[in-house]
Amino acid sequence: MSTPARITHFIDGKPWHGPAGRTGPVHNPATGEQTGTVDLAPAEVVSAAVRSARTAWREWSGLSLARRSQVLFAFRELLNARRHEVAALVTAEHGKVLSDALGEVTRGLEVAEFACGIPHLLKGGYTENAATGVDVHSVRQSLGVVAVISPFNFPAMVPMWFVPLALACGNAVVLKPSEKDPSAALALAALWKEAGLPDGVLQVVNGDKEAVDTLLTHEDVRAVSFVGSTPVARYVYETATAHGKRVQALGGAKNHMLVLPDADLDLAADAAVNAGFGSAGERCMAVSALVAVEPVADDLVARIAARMAKLRVGDGTRGCDMGPLVTRQHRDKVASYLDAGVAAGAALVVDGRDTAVDADGEGFFLGPTLFDRVEPHMSLYTDEIFGPVLSVLRVRSYDEGLALVNANPYGNGTAIFTNDGGAARRFQNEVEVGMVGVNVPIPVPVSHYSFGGWKQSLFGDTHAHGTEGVHFFTRGKVVTSRWADPSHGGLNLGFPQND
Ligand code: NAD
């Protein structure tokens, strides 16, 4: 077993070489081996990174849009060329299979491509002669230093939801990735530097609650983009807004897939398996609750179970379908839901603890698990399990299924499977969820639309990327100007009226 490598911060354009202080372990989840030791930044290190970013922001925000876009285009080319390297880092620390890791890098790349159009996205409005001799125009300007705090499950894509747009809008960014799999974020920061981003404009500080709390309360941090579990998202939102910051805090999820009796059941079964067990269920858009409108449940459960038997579980570098969970602790927590489900009376159709695993060592594996006859009061349903556990709930009608989805406190993603266009149209109108799929199980919006849930899946008003992202990372200013003959001056204390 080799000595774990030190993983440190990336500050002012280079790896940080100060004293390590508190550290945390980073594992290869497929083997269970500790491969890295990540520095957990104390408040002083985070504060220094923010102050330095503030200095770098002044110059960066003053650069022409042409110069800023050149950096974005260069980054896009570099990441496209090195996407396999970044994906390999994701697999090594998160555990998801390589093809899936490449998919997440590619979806992140889409946001960089969207950000390349920033000159167009930042165009303001202009009104000539709004009043006699008076013109009005609007601009959007950068905020300053913004913080991005990301979760373990998309170590490349989630930072990419925010960083390219925040930079394109002229901000400096302090990124705090998950301490469980920090290397992909560091690799991205190195690519930004290679693309020509000036030192200090993107800082990566590794850390835990201490680093996050410093960012949420620092006077020079203007906005916070957070993604993680709902309790932490709520805490981040409340703390950072209390300190005067603009916040978008994306939280957890319980995503439902509603299958109507007229649906193509093979399509629905494929979708349930793909969306339930891809990335070992560690996706905020994973389907964890399949709501079957009777009489299709028996048939659907049989089709899903047959497909699950074909899945290969193991080390993500070996061409398997599904990898391990991120840590041993998380694996054990997810496994505890299997006992709880059985004790509560749900029917355990496929037990992931029995799955054969293709990996060396003591990886954090739990195979795909299927429960039938799950009831809304069971912890299988009430909790976000965030693992490869799919629960089937049986309902008698579309209305009963819709009511179930809408009563759930989360509202991230949902999908309906049907061949009835009218039912699908009703669902997309009536469901209280931010992202809806029609015969599409994981409806992650493309980068020119915005990503975000409703209810306890998002605190704040603004979703990620797309034009909402541009608005989040800028503030508007309206200029009213008159270039009139000086003889038109004169005193008038009345409120300005347009004529
Ligand atoms: P997490 O909430 O444990 O951690 C997220 C970030 O917050 C990490 O950077 C972590 O270091 C930090 N953090 C953790 N505890 C903290 C605390 N007490 N105070 C301050 N900071 C803290 O989430 P996770 O386990 O890394 O990620 C999985 C969660 O993220 C799931 O709930 C998932 O649904 C959610 N998620 C949501 C979306 C979305 O778009 N809504 C996307 C991805 C993941």
Tell me which residue range forms the domain holding 205: 5-251+457-479
384 CB under 6 A from ligand 1? yes
Residues 6+ apart with CB under 8 A from 222: 143, 144, 145, 146, 171, 245, 246
Do 228 and 335 belong to one domain? no
Pocket probe mutation, ligand 1, options 26, 154, 178, max atoms within 8 Å of Cβ:
178
- What are residue 102's DSSP bridge partners? none
> What whole-number distance in Å separates Cα of residue 169 and Cα of residue 143?
9
pLDDT in tens, 332-369: 999 999 999 999 999 999 999 999 999 999 999 999 99
Q: What is the pLDDT of residues 81-98, one digit of tens each?
A: 999 999 999 999 999 999
Q: Does 484 score more than 90 pLDDT? A: no
Residue nearest to atom 24 of ligand 1 (CA): 151
CA of 228 to the centre of ligand 1 (A): 2
Domain shared by 136 and 24, yes or no: yes
Name the residue at shortest CA distance from atom 30 of ligand 1: 228
Contact 352, 368 (CB under 8 A): yes
Q: Do residues 196 and 81 share a domain?
A: yes
Backbone angles phi, psi at 393, to 5 degrees: -115, 140
Q: Is the peptide bond before 295 cis (omega within 30 degrees of 0)?
A: yes
Q: What is the pLDDT of residues 13-25, one digit of tens each?
A: 999 999 989 999 9
Average of pLDDT values for 62-75?
Answer: 98
Give residue-wise pLDDT tens across range 189-234. 999 999 999 999 999 999 999 999 999 999 999 999 999 999 999 9
222 with 241, same domain?
yes
Q: Kindly give the interhelix angle for 230-242 and 209-217, rounded to the nearest 10 degrees.
A: 30
CA distance 57 to 218: 16
284 CA: nearest ligand 1 atom:
34
Asked whether residue 445 is domain-assigned, the answer is: no
Return d(Cα 11, Cα 47) in angstroms, integer: 11
- Find all residues with CB under 8 Å of 127, minimum gap 6, and list them: 135, 136, 137
The pLDDT value given to residue 345: 98
Q: Is residue 386 part of a domain?
A: yes
Asked if residue 492 belongs to a domain, the reply is: no
**Contact 370/273 with Cβ under 8 angstroms?**
no
**Averaged pLDDT, 257-264:** 98
In this prediction, residue 282 has a pLDDT band, given cuts at 50, 70 and 90, of very high
* pTM, two decimal places: 0.98
- Nearest atom in ligand 1 to the alpha carbon of residue 150 is 9
Ligand 1 atom having least distance to the Cα of 176: 9
Residue owning the nearest CA to atom 9 of ligand 1: 178
Scanning 28-64, the segments in alpha helix (DSSP H) are 43-62
SS (H, E, C) 300-319: HHHHHHHHHCCCCEECCCCC
Residue 240: inside a domain: yes
Q: Give the integer Cα–Cα distance in Å for 469 and 161.
A: 9
Q: Tell me if 498 is assigned to some domain.
A: no
To the nearest whole percent, how much of the chain has pLDDT over 90?
A: 96
Looking at residue 461, which CATH number applies to its domain? 3.40.605.10
Same domain, 286 and 414: yes
Tell me what the pLDDT averaged over the chain comes to: 97
* Residues 126 and 50 occupy one common structural domain: yes
- In-domain check, residue 327: yes
Clarify whether residues 359 and 417 are in a common domain: yes
Q: Tell me if 464 is assigned to some domain.
A: yes
CATH number of the domain within which 276 lies:
3.40.309.10
Q: Give the whole-angstrom CA distance, residue 65 versus residue 62.
A: 9
- Structural domain contains residue 484: no
Do residues 419 and 298 share a domain? yes
- CB of 386 within 6 A of ligand 1: the answer is yes
232 alpha carbon – ligand 1 mean position (Å): 6
- Going by their DSSP bridges, the two strands 14-15 and 23-28 should be labelled as unpaired
The residues near 165 (Cβ < 8 Å, ≥ 6 apart) are 111, 114, 115, 118, 465, 469, 470, 473
User: Do residues 149 and 176 lie in contact, with contact meaning Cβ atoms separated by under 8 Å?
Assistant: yes
Overall number of domains in the chain: 2
